[in-house]
């Protein structure tokens, strides 16, 4: 099969061996995949990654031994493959299974390939009403939904979303559904206009944004975002950290102690609610699509995705 491989440099391998499904897994033909910031950080050195990246995908189940009802179905898949047997899994925390692999990130070949494998239990069928280029947003939208899994946001809360990249725009749309007093802050007027068209208040970074927020979502993808979040949150408020990047954050946490700030790391989220939001058209993703590339041009796609200010780049795999 063809696959994008990173081994210090990115290359399109046209003769990569097909992945072999483990017991309980399905072989999935990838239809479309999205490039996200984590993919870009992996090829900068994040997690010392080597292999086939990619975790945002829509695919078709080709083979599902012992579960033939899945064959021929269009699916998305939760990216953490847990053991389902350890104490962490049995306590209902499979995304933190110490034995897990993570699609295109750790121990599991990813979606920038013509085929991938995932446990059948990780798969969700895609409604016929959703196009591939909409359904491919399920994974990042699920990450936005994870915030509401972790914290309760009241309609009376003041909430600030920092970052107008792909994830920040999705987080703002999800949080807006709570009815909270929301504002999204970013660097790019054209990106913020996507939210403004939905009636979500926005502000440019550097303009005067009132502090004292009950909660700040940090989705800038940069260290500076943490400092801004700390400046804008009230004492005993909450900062939700969504950014992942290569490098180490240097932070003086003394004032976080003094102000009794709650810091919450937030990662992967629930796919089923994300699919419902897309199916009911409650979150708009089409305006986030910047360009679409064939798989043969995936190196160019990654170059454009790494360009400052670019939103979502999609790759049609098969």
pLDDT confidence band for 128 (50 / 70 / 90): very high
Most confident of 91-95, 213-217, 223-227: 213-217
pLDDT digits (tens, 9 = 90+) for 155-191: 999 999 999 999 999 999 999 999 999 999 999 999 9
- Mean pLDDT for 105-130 is 97
Nearest alpha-carbon partner for 181 in 153, 162, 146, 144: 153
- 272-273-278 Cα angle (round to 5): 100
Distance CA 315, CA 85 (A): 35
| Domain 141-265: homologous superfamily in CATH | NAD(P)-binding Rossmann-like Domain (3.40.50.720)
> Where are the chain's structural domains?
3-137+285-316, 141-265
Confidence at residue 240, expressed as pLDDT on a 0 to 100 scale: 98
CATH of domain 3-137+285-316: 3.90.180.10
pLDDT confidence band for 108 (50 / 70 / 90): very high
- Mean pLDDT for 287-312 is 96
Express as a percent the part of the chain with pLDDT over 90: 91
pLDDT confidence band for 229 (50 / 70 / 90): very high
pLDDT digits (tens, 9 = 90+) for 282-298: 999 999 999 999 999 99
- Mean pLDDT for 24-46 is 95
Mean pLDDT of the chain: 95
């Amino acid at each position: 099969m063809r696959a994008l491989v990173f081994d210090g440099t990115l290359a399109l391998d046209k003769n990569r061996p097909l992945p072999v499904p483990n017991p309980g897994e399905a072989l999935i033909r990838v239809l479309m995949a999205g490039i996200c910031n984590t993919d870009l950080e992996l090829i900068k050195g994040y997690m010392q990654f080597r292999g086939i990246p990619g975790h945002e995908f829509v695919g078709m189940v080709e083979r599902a031994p012992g579960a033939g009802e899945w064959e021929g179905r269009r699916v998305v898949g939760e990216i953490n493959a847990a053991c389902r047997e350890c104490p962490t899994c049995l306590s209902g925390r499979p995304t933190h299974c110490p034995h897990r692999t993570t699609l295109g990130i750790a121990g599991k070949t990813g979606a920038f390939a013509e085929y991938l494998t995932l446990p059948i239990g990780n798969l969700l069928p895609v409604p016929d009403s959703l196009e591939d280029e909409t359904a491919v947003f399920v994974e990042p939208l699920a990450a936005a939904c994870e915030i509401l899994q972790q914290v309760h946001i009241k309609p009376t809360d003041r909430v600030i979303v920092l970052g107008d990249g792909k994830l920040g725009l999705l987080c703002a749309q999800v949080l807006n559904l709570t009815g909270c007093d929301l504002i999204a802050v970013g660097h790019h007027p054209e990106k913020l206009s996507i939210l403004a068209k939905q009636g979500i208040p926005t502000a440019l970074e550097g303009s005067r944004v009132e502090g004292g927020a009950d909660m700040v979502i940090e989705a800038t993808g940069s260290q500076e975002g943490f400092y801004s979040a700390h400046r804008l949150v009230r004492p005993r408020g909450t900062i939700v950290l969504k950014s992942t990047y290569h490098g180490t954050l240097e932070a003086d946490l003394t004032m976080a102690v003094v102000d009794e700030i709650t810091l919450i790391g937030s990662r992967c989220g629930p796919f089923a609610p994300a699919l419902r939001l897309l199916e009911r058209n409650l979150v708009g993703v089409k305006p986030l699509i910047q360009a679409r590339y064939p798989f043969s041009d995936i190196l160019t796609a990654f170059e454009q995705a790494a360009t400052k200010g670019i939103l979502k780049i999609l790759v049609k795999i098969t």
